[in-house]
Copies of this chain bind each other. A is one copy, B any other.
Amino acid sequence: MTTINATTYSIHFDEKAYHELASLVSKNNYSSIFVLVDDNTLEHCYPRFMQLFATDKPIEVIQIEAGEIHKNIETCMGVWNVMTELGADRKSLLITLGGGVITDLGGFVASTFKRGIDFVNIPTTLLSMVDASVGGKTGVDLGVLKNQIGVFANPEMIIIDAEYLHTVSTREIRSGTAEIIKYGMTHDIELFNEIRGNDQVNIVDLIHRSIEIKNEVVLEDPKEQGVRKVLNWGHTIGHGVESYFLESPEKEAITHGEAIAIGMVCEAYLSSKILDFPKKKVLEIKEAIINIYGKVAINEDDIQPIIALMKHDKKNINGEINFVLLNDYEDFKINCKASEDLIQESIAFYNS
């Protein structure tokens, strides 16, 4: 696949990407290399990485526990301390090898260690390939608040190697697919059409096109002051749903993608009420999403707490909930507002 160029770095694909990494390492003459992994990627991805990446620099592996619950400052402290003990200096390189937790946390650790060392992202899940690793956002959670602490910082390079997808579950793949559907609805409806068609899809093509779209959006608005907000399509309600299912002891947690898929159905409904998004397409989206993800039961009682959680979103200013909505496929509008009644109605619509 063709390399995609971002501002100061590139996104390389397939096995040739490891040669690019070797060139980067030799060009910058790093003093040492640290690879951040979790239990899963150490076992399933690190062997492939080491087989394909050739270097004579010393490599140290730093392992953290897998899971969003460990994406916090305490884990950062652990990694900063290990790097210090192992003699990391300003010319060290940190390579992140894992899903969104590893790439987000690793990018933050690197950007703040001795006021910033270089890092390279190698996302190993579909979600992190199409979304988390690209775009310069790094961060960790503060309590229940996602990515509350972080910085904007670009990696030196991103490697997309779809072989790593064989190491993750079908449910995780489906989760990442929701972000591809998102890019489809806002920028290139063919992505959505391919996924909801029943044919075998070429996942590498879908990843490449998704990254291309995200990269263009981020280049235009790196700090999310305007058009980048489009990437939150489905996420305003989606995040509320995700947090609610995560926090409620009697509910089973759902994946990020499953929540965002629900969010897209609800926000399509809002789009039809607030803008001119065709009602027919709202129904088409709901059907396709339930086809792919099944139906998650959201009761009447769940709706208020979900809306309460949405009010905590860090994208809100002055406590107002901010939406991106659709006039039509590939035609979005940022900074939309919706009344609480309408939000409630939209969740009830998903549930109907």
Q: CA of A147 to CA of B314 in the docked complex: distance in angstroms?
A: 28
Among A33-41, A73-81, A258-266, the one that faces the other chain is A73-81
Q: CA of A315 to CA of B89 in the docked complex: distance in angstroms?
A: 8
Q: Does A149 lie at the interface of the complex (its beta carbon under 8 Å from any beta carbon of B)?
A: yes
A280 CB contacts on chain B under 8 angstroms: none
Q: Does A139 lie at the interface of the complex (its beta carbon under 8 Å from any beta carbon of B)?
A: yes
Residue in B closest to A225 when the chains form the complex, CB atoms: B90
Among A109-117, A124-132, A227-235, A339-347, the one that faces the other chain is A109-117
Task: Bin chain A's interface residue count.
Answer: 20 to 34
The listed residue with most B CB atoms (<10 A of its CB), out of A73, A115, A137, A315, is A115
Within 304-352 of A, Cβ neighbours of B (below 8 Å) are at 314-319
Q: CA of A142 to CA of B83 in the docked complex: distance in angstroms?
A: 12
Within 102-155 of A, Cβ neighbours of B (below 8 Å) are at 111-116, 137, 139, 142-143, 145, 147-152
The listed residue with most B CB atoms (<10 A of its CB), out of A77, A81, A143, is A77
Contact of A151 among B77, B89, B116 (CB under 8 A): B116
Q: Are A115 and B89 in contact (CB under 8 A)?
A: no
Q: Are B91 and A142 in contact (CB under 8 A)?
A: no
Q: CA of A85 to CA of B76 in the docked complex: distance in angstroms?
A: 22
A148 CB contacts on chain B under 8 angstroms: 80, 84, 113-114
Contact of A149 among B112, B147, B317 (CB under 8 A): B112
Q: Are A80 and B114 in contact (CB under 8 A)?
A: no
A87 CB contacts on chain B under 8 angstroms: 319
Q: Does A31 lie at the interface of the complex (its beta carbon under 8 Å from any beta carbon of B)?
A: yes
Within 172-206 of A, Cβ neighbours of B (below 8 Å) are at none
7 extra A-B contacts, CB within 8 A, seeds A90-B315, A91-B317: A31-B317, A80-B149, A84-B142, A84-B148, A112-B149, A115-B147, A115-B152
